[in-house]
Amino acid sequence: MDKNILQETAKKMMTLPKGILAMDESSPTIAKRLASINVENNEINRRRYRELIVTSPDLSKYISGAILFEETFDQKMEDGTLFRDYLNSIGILPGIKVDKGAKDFSCHPNEKITEGLDGLRDRLAKYYEDGAKFCKWRAVITIGKDIPSEGCIESNMNSLARYASLCQENNLVPIVEPEVLINGPHSIEDCDKVTRSTLHSLFRNLEMLNVYLPGTVLKPSMVISGEDNSSRADKDKVANMTIDCLKDCVPNDTSGIAFLSGGQTDCEAEEHLNIMNKNHSLPWRVTFSYARAIQAAALATWLGKDENLITSQSILIERASRCSRASVGEL
């Protein structure tokens, strides 16, 4: 582990006024995205869509790093340039999602455990050799009747910490993503309680495994009411409770925080972030690592048609610009 390399990469990821673009949709998820616009899910169309994203003019004004799916990390653009090399050429750090997905957790009904630790050390060494600067691993925590269990939280957070330590061994900055799902009718208070338990467990495990926090990025969900709650908390309450939770649970030497949008609308995702940065004094950089909140409107406009490319890219850049302004409280 070279702490200087890790800290320098993390600082670049947290550069003002930028955020991190999540374009690492798994194979089933990208299939759903393309199906929503009636475009066939094949390698060429996946490449065309992801090339639309990275070649959007001035993307690097708003984006410091891009999380790629393994296919995209090794994929060539139409002109033969590797996606990862193109991103480097425009000043965007290339990263890669390295987990193998959330699977049913044995003996824990309705809960998930993220897999992918087997063989990870060797994979990470190859990713670093090929130019990756950071990685991402997502854990999923569900709020429901009698869940999450302590076993689910502890097992997922320990896996996140083991992943993070392996990343840093290979001089890759780990993005640790403990997502408390928005699905369900739970209250914002329920979400706050579960998020606090999850973050306390995460940082306890990171400390236990000697993970270097100035070279680690946290990608949390916001403290927010369940999407099926009939009386959801307003934007100010979401922003204020989220920041209170983070200040209580996240050590100040963590390099930065980049939120996932997690089922929020585009407007909700940017407005919550804007309020946090506008109304609070924060010990860390608080920005975004959004996928759908930046891409969805552009995808719906593109429809797989070349004649829609420029319009789609302008929409994507407008979304990225708005999220960037929110990340410094200037929206």
Q: Is residue 331 part of a domain?
A: no
Give the active site residues: 177, 219
Residue 26 pLDDT greater than 90, yes or no: no
Q: Is residue 223 part of a domain?
A: yes
Report if pTM > 0.75.
yes
Q: Is residue 217 part of a domain?
A: yes
Q: Which residue type does 207 have?
A: E
The CATH number covering residue 32 comes to 3.20.20.70
Q: Is residue 63 part of a domain?
A: yes
The tokens describing 250, both together, are 């996240």
* pLDDT of amino acid 174: 98
Report the C-alpha gap between 252 and 97 in whole angstroms: 25
Model confidence at 223, pLDDT cuts 50, 70, 90, reads: very high
Number of domains in the chain: 1
Q: Is residue 173 part of a domain?
A: yes
Q: Are 136 and 172 in contact (CB under 8 A)?
A: no
* pLDDT of amino acid 250: 98
pLDDT tens, residue by residue, 133-178: 999 999 999 999 999 999 999 999 999 999 999 999 999 999 999 9
pLDDT tens, residue by residue, 275-290: 999 988 999 999 999 9
Q: Is residue 249 part of a domain?
A: yes
pLDDT tens, residue by residue, 88-109: 999 999 999 999 999 999 999 9
Which residue range forms the structural domain that includes residue 300?
3-326
- Among candidates 94, 88, 77, which has minimal Cα distance to 128? 94
Residue 328 pLDDT greater than 90, yes or no: yes
* In the block, residue with structure tokens 């899910």: 41
Q: Is residue 122 part of a domain?
A: yes
Residue 246 pLDDT greater than 90, yes or no: yes
